[in-house]
Structures are given as structure tokens and as C-alpha cells.
Chains A and B, each alone.
Chain A
């Protein structure tokens, strides 16, 4: 039972363009969402989060959008840089519960 889905296993984007990473979830009780970036042989590093009371959160080049009715969130990276090439994980939790991670999307930013 995949509660958090990232249907694109990989994505390639030209440097300077926008990267859009998508995440869908099935559990309507999820109310807090995070995006993590992971380089090979390293632990996931936190990027940005959003609470269900918001529909957008922005931090520099990173913006997360949440559509609760569609149970969908997305991460926008603008402009994309080669150093952004990594695996991006969406994670979600409901109050008092632990984070559930999606399978990840591998982003490649081409110079």
C-alpha cells in the first residue's frame, strides 16, 4: 500500500529551466509534507516543508505547492542548477504518526 507516490522515477531538465517534481498521496489524514534531497552515499537532507493549512511555501529557488483536494503536491526548482542533480523524496505524516516517504524521483540537470 503506497501511501505516498512519486510516479516519475526520473526527470531531466536543462540548466536554468524549471524543474517540477510531483508527489501524490492517498491518506487524507496527512497534514504535513516535506521534500528531501539525497545524493549518492549520503543521508537525505531537508529542503522545504508545507503544512496542510497552506497551499504554497517558498524558500529561495524552491517552492512547494499543495493541492489538498487532489492530494497532490509539487516541488518547483527555478532556476535549476547542475548541483540540484539528486534523488528527491516526498514525505508525509499525520499528527502523531511517523513520516512516510515516496520512492523518489531522480533529477538530472543538464549543463
Chain B
């Protein structure tokens, strides 16, 4: 069964360092997302990506964050200069349908980011 894969599963970094989290969405999906969950808190939307551009982003997704689909398979989240409060589980998700309200999100296993 196709699945969303994420790497690394866990990354520890020093404050101020750049981090790239990688995702391989399901191959025939058209919409791509990043969500995050700070420990003990709810799952928060960061950004959605469609047709090689950002379609929507939340207030969390400031200038320190960027996303890219460098080739036909990978979808990356870059945090330029990490802060302590960026420590969270980051989930990549993808969705197939191109319109309407149907189509659930398929999530990856998550990448745990720890900023020291």
C-alpha cells in the first residue's frame, strides 16, 4: 500500500542551525502539506503546496520556513535558523483529489525535531 515517507525520523540540532526535513508523498497525489505537533499540543497546519507553489500558509510559517519540491518525488521543509520553540513533531501529508471536498490526508510517520 502506498504511503508517505519522511526522513529523518529524529533530528537534534543546535539553535540557529538550518534544518531540512524530507518527505516523499504518495506518487499520484497532487496536494502536499506540512503540519506540526508540539508535545502535548494539537496538530497545527503549517503550509500547503499545489502545482509547484504554496497555496496556503499559517501564521506559524514565517520567513524562517520554506518548502520546495526539488524533483518529482521529494517535498522538503526547511527551517533556516531554528529556535527552541521549533522543537516539535513535523508531519508531512499528501492528498490526491484536485477539487471538491473529498480526499483525506495521508500522513507520514513524522520527523521529530529537537532544538537545543
Contacts and interface: CB of A to CB of B under 8 A. Distances in A.
Interface of A: 31-32, 34, 36, 41-46, 49, 51, 89, 91, 93, 95, 97-104
Interface of B: 4, 6, 33, 35, 41-45, 48, 56, 91, 93, 100-102, 104-110, 112
Contacts of A49: 102, 104
Nearest to B57: A98
A99 B107 contact: no
Given A98-B48, A99-B45, A102-B42, A43 B101 contact: no
Contacts of A42: 109-110
Contact of A46 (B91, B102, B106, B109): B106
A98 B104 CA distance: 11
A42 B42 CA distance: 14
A43 B45 contact: no
A89 B43 contact: yes
Given A98-B56, A102-B42, A104-B42, A43 B104 contact: no
A98 B42 contact: no
A46 B32 CA distance: 16
Given A43-B107, A44-B107, A98-B33, A93 B101 contact: yes
Contacts of B110: 41-43
A103 B41 contact: yes
B42 A43 contact: no
A46 B107 CA distance: 8
A94 to B, nearest CB: 8
Nearest to B92: A43
B56 A43 contact: no
A43 B48 CA distance: 17
A36 B7 CA distance: 22
A44 B100 CA distance: 22
A91 to B, nearest CB: 8
